[in-house]
């Protein structure tokens, strides 16, 4: 007997999203790592919010949603909201139940750094001068073939830290490449230093989580 193609929504549901996610799904290990990291900044998140007023969207959910946006190359928050609306895997990762409404996400500000690494194209006097003006150590690769010689002198190049940074500097190119192909760094949809810095930090954090999850899988074997 042929069944009728009729869709009828049940009055009640007992679906648990966790049961719908395969136990070996790669997002499980990433979510575990990320949730562990969130416990270490719980005190800091508490300081951001007032003890009075209406309850906010849990900041942990906002951060998980932003992480999803990077991991799955979702190019805008509008698309992110649409996909969380109907994708049960995304809902599970963020921490929503199957019936929870999806609300607007907010960006978080980032922090500043005191050391900068760059390739030899940045070995120019103006760039190095501005770095030192702002108390930033310029770990720039020397370009001795540049007319007038390298702008990096012995104050920087003779230090052990500079030599080490030149060895590991190329490793930075890999996560940035990942951030431009998988993540949103090729064409950001936000403006302003705080929002751009936040997008950069979230992208690099996502890359590290993917890498850590893969390394853990290798160690088990």
Tens-digit pLDDT profile for residues 11-54: 666 778 888 888 889 999 999 999 999 999 888 888 887 777 77
Is residue 109 predicted with pLDDT exceeding 50? no
The pLDDT assigned to 174 comes to 84
Residues constituting the chain: 221
The pLDDT assigned to 139 comes to 81
Q: Which residues fall within 8 angstroms of residue 90, CB to CB, at 6 or more apart?
A: 68, 83, 84
Cβ atoms of residues 179 and 203 within 8 Å: yes
**pLDDT, mean of residues 171-191:** 86
Identify the three-state secondary structure at position 4: coil
Q: Is 21 exposed, middle or buried (0-12, 13-18, 19+ CB in 10 A)?
A: middle
Model confidence at 1, in pLDDT bands (50, 70, 90)?
A: low
Cβ atoms of residues 41 and 63 within 8 Å: no
- Give the model confidence (pLDDT) of 110-146 as tens digits: 334 468 777 788 888 888 888 887 778 888 888 888 8
**pLDDT, mean of residues 96-114:** 56
**pLDDT, mean of residues 188-216:** 89
Please give the sequence-ordered ranges of beta strands (E in DSSP) within 141-210, or none if there are none: none
The pLDDT assigned to 30 comes to 93
């Amino acid at each position: 007997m042929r069944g009728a193609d009729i869709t009828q929504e049940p009055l009640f549901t007992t679906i648990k999203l966790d049961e719908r996610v395969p136990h070996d799904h790669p997002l499980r290990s990433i979510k575990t790592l990320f949730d562990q990291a969130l416990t270490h900044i719980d005190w800091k998140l508490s300081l951001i919010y007032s003890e009075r007023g209406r309850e906010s969207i849990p900041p942990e959910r906002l951060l998980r949603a932003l992480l999803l946006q990077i991991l799955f190359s979702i190019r805008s928050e509008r698309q992110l909201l649409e996909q969380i609306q109907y994708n049960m895997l995304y809902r599970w990762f963020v921490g929503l139940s199957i019936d929870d409404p999806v609300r607007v996400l907010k960006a978080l500000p980032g922090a500043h750094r005191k050391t900068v690494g760059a390739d030899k194209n940045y070995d120019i006097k103006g760039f190095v001068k501005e770095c030192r003006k702002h108390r930033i150590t310029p770990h720039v690769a020397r370009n001795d073939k540049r007319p007038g010689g390298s702008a990096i002198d012995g104050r920087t190049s003779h230090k052990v830290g500079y030599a080490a940074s030149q060895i590991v500097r190329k490793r930075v190119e890999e996560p940035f490449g990942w951030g431009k192909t998988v993540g949103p760094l090729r064409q950001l949809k936000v403006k302003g230093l705080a929002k751009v810095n936040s997008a950069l930090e979230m992208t690099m954090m996502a890359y590290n989580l993917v890498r850590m999850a893969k390394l853990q899988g290798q160690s088990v074997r």
